[in-house]
Amino acid sequence: MAKTDWAIVMGVSKYPALGDLDGAERDASEFRDWLLTAAGVPKSHVSPIVTSDFHPPVPESEFEAKPTPEHAEKAFDRLWKLAKTSAARGDGLRLGRRLYVYLAGHGFEPKDDGPVLLTANASREQPGYHVAGKLYAEHFLRSGCFEEVLLFMDTCRERCDQAPLRRPPFAPSVNPQAVTDGRFFHGFATRWSLRTREKPLPPDGLPGGIFTRTLLTGLKGAARKPGSEHQVTAHSLKNYLINRMRDLLTPEERKDPDVQEWPEVHIAPDAEDRDFVLVEVEPVLFPVIVHFAPGDKGKRVEVQRGGDFKVVERTRVRALEWRIDLAPDTYQLVIPDPLRMVLLKVSGLEEHHVYP
């Protein structure tokens, strides 16, 4: 089914006028890698647009910097051209099953039309150089080009009402059936008027967006639907993003009123009984290291699963480190004499060390 999927992936790291970002291109590249491997999207169907496609040489100013909105517009135009070719053949505008749109870089929100990704040539005086991801996503869904559109935007959403909105150049094309039956997943790194955060992330300490890190970890299996080992669905991914992204922030970072600790996610259809599968995954396990105190030696320790308190691992403490592999879930570690219950959230986002 992924053979008819398409993707546009854009990551902008160099902004001569706005300040460079350290992780946006890398995030986009990692998302592209996931598309080509786990998601099974054909390579010829993926349009990557990243800073290193154009630089070095280092641009002298924002006027020479790329990528620009035209690069994204060309990629979307290509899809539209293919859809029109399909329509000319009598097959309607349907191009494929799913469209992925991933955008990472500086961003803001002109009005209430969703966040936009600023391109490399944007500046504070010229915020009109951007890509309105949500508007493109909506066009390709409502026109019936795709059954599903997944939009992921790892950008800020500071509000600026008076910045001009660069609308997609498409006239409205509405397929009533597509509007009724179409499915979408819109994931935005932050909420309206707030910022998101990129920071050095485990395990290698390289910078990345916390939204993208959580997204990819979830898509690779950490966000599988409860009761299913093999499926990540729209709702399970939404729940994972909302509940786990904040774990990548320190308590101090969570206090920053300008940074949102959970993303904004919209799904259609929204009813849980109409949940849809995003990707099939292999079961994943994540390493956990429990560090005991010397006084715990000899004690019987259990790891109980949070959903039903079923014991999934147990040991009698002999060494001060106990290494186990656990599926993503919430657990409690129970140590008697005196009774201690220690929370263990296995999210896959970081190395899991427990100090009871």
Asked if 8 contacts 69 with a C-beta cutoff of 8 angstroms, the reply is no
Asked if 297 contacts 318 with a C-beta cutoff of 8 angstroms, the reply is yes
* Cβ distance to another protein smaller for residue 144 or 221: 221
* Cβ distance to another protein smaller for residue 143 or 260: 260
Compute the least distance from the CB of residue 341 to another protein, in Å.
Answer: 5
Residue of 3, 283, 330, 351 interacting with another protein (CB under 8 A): 330
* Cβ distance to another protein smaller for residue 163 or 279: 163
Select from 226, 222, 219, 234 the least CA-distant residue to 265: 234
Residue of 164, 202, 283, 287 interacting with another protein (CB under 8 A): 164
Question: Quick one: which segment of 3-11, 21-29, 250-258, 295-303 binds another protein (CB under 8 A)?
Answer: 250-258
**What's the CA gap between 245 and 199, in Å, rounded?**
13
Residue of 64, 73, 77, 158 interacting with another protein (CB under 8 A): 158
Compute the least distance from the CB of residue 273 to another protein, in Å.
Answer: 13
Residue of 55, 97, 159, 352 interacting with another protein (CB under 8 A): 159
Token pair, residue 293, equals 């105190």
In DSSP terms, 265 is beta-bridged to: 187
Select from 344, 308, 314 the least CA-distant residue to 226: 308
Q: Does 56 bind another protein (CB under 8 A)?
A: no
**What's the CA gap between 214 and 205, in Å, rounded?**
15
The residues in 17-36 that bind another protein, with binding defined as CB under 8 A, are none
For residue 30, give the amino acid letter: E
Q: If DSSP states are collapsed to H, E and C, what string results for 246-264?
A: HHHCCHHHHCCCCECCCCE
| Interface positions with another protein (CB under 8 A) | 63, 108, 111, 124-128, 158-165, 191-193, 195, 226-227, 236, 239-240, 242-244, 254-261, 305-309, 329-332, 341-343
